[in-house]
Amino acid sequence: MKPKIGLLLGDRNGIGPEIAAKLLAMQETHDDADVVLVADPTVYRDGQTAAAVTIDREIEFRPLEAPANDTQTGVATASAGQEVLSALKQVGHMASRGDIAGFVFAPLNKQAMHLAGLGFEDEMQFLKSELNFEGEVGELNVLDKLWTSRVTSHVAIRDVADHITVDGIARAIGLLDRSLRASGMTVPRLAVAALNPHAGDGGNFGREEIDIIEPAVAQAANKGVSVEGPYPSDTVFVRARDGAYDGVVTMYHDQGQIAMKLMGFGSGITVLGGLPFPVTTAAHGTAYDIAGKGEADPTALMEAWRTCARMAASN
């Protein structure tokens, strides 16, 4: 049987509703999984209008429990942010109950969510709190067959080194390994990026590689993970791109994001790894500048849908 996957339209003021409409207009979307659309019907209709598509098939529909009362296309608003938070909570509990096997959300806007009082660094931590989930979680970025995880995420660059620990790196390695296995890979091949230039050059440019990263890699390898490193971050992605690795563990947000987005900005996705069910989204943002114009490309959201369906089917 096909898995049943939830779909959220994302921030109503961005491109989410229109790329979700384009996604739902594709036959392969319905071949991969059964859709449960959780949305405001007005925003759903507006998305179809902007995308110039008509969804004439019957789709299981669940109305939002707390929809916003206005749309301001191209603007970050507290009301849209509050709608997103409520929708994430609603669909998260649907997945926890087993009503759906996982869910995909169209792009959200962190400014809007913070205006609404998010209270967490991102939607993943919000979901973890709302679901009272105690396990390890982390954002994973995926481009084609290459996955990345990171040790630190939404923290200032000046604070990154202070947050790099043996346990933190080992957790990021483990999360990436488990997530790749959940996506259907038997023995993922992982590499770990260094923090400092030239991987510290034997301690001349910092000792994090020697004192922290190497012990973490050894710890993970001793537990049966196929992992190597640390390797200089300016070369490890070249090797990974060419097929030497299935996943790369990075030390901070942009270390992996810049490489991944240069290799394929329009098709990269994000997986909220570690949760008890698969949650995926497009890696790009709400693109307020083109919202409502029908120009937005649904490729990344389609990839997020395929990945979520594949992970749900393998669970």
Which amino acid belongs to residue 126?
F
* Alpha helix positions (H), 76-227: 78-97, 110-115, 123-130, 160-163, 166-182, 208, 214-222
Q: Where are the domains of the chain?
A: 1-136+275-315, 145-266
Average pLDDT, the chain: 95
Query: Which is higher by pLDDT, 184 or 243?
Result: 243
Q: Where are the beta strands (DSSP E) in the chain?
A: 4-8, 34-39, 60-63, 102-105, 138-143, 146-150, 189-193, 226-231, 247-250, 269-273, 279-282
Task: Read off the pLDDT of each residue in 27-45 and give the average, rounded to a whole number.
Answer: 97
Q: Is the pLDDT of residue 110 over 80?
A: yes
List beta partners, residue 191. Answer: 228, 248
The 10s digit of each residue's pLDDT in 265-296 is: 778 999 999 999 999 999 999 999 999 999 99
Distances (CA, A) of 264 to 108, 143, 185, 249, 261: 20, 7, 22, 18, 5
The 10s digit of each residue's pLDDT in 81-103 is: 999 999 999 999 999 999 999 99
Task: Read off the pLDDT of each residue in 59-76 and give the average, rounded to a whole number.
Answer: 96
List beta partners, residue 138. Answer: 273
- Of the candidate ranges 12-21, 204-213, 228-237, 306-315, the one whose mean pLDDT is the lowest: 306-315
Q: Is the pLDDT of residue 112 over 90?
A: yes
Confidence at residue 1, expressed as pLDDT on a 0 to 100 scale: 82
Confidence at residue 182, expressed as pLDDT on a 0 to 100 scale: 86
Give the residue from 194, 177, 210, 175 showing the smallest Cα distance to 250: 194
Decide if 6 contacts 127 (C-beta within 8 A).
no
Fold classification of 1-136+275-315 is Isopropylmalate Dehydrogenase (3.40.718)
pTM here?
0.90
Instruction: Count Cβ atoms within 10 A of the Cβ of residue 182 and give its class: 0-12 exposed, 13-18 middle, 19 or more buried.
Output: middle
* Helix, strand, or coil (residue 188): coil
Confidence at residue 275, expressed as pLDDT on a 0 to 100 scale: 93
Confidence at residue 261, expressed as pLDDT on a 0 to 100 scale: 87
Q: How is domain 145-266 classified at the architecture level of CATH?
A: 3-Layer(aba) Sandwich (3.40)
Indicate the Cα dihedral angle 248, 252, 256, 262, nearest 10°: -170
Residues 6 or more apart whose Cβ sits within 8 Å of residue 36: 4, 5, 6, 7, 59, 60, 61, 62, 94, 99, 100
Confidence at residue 56, expressed as pLDDT on a 0 to 100 scale: 87
Which amino acid belongs to residue 15?
I
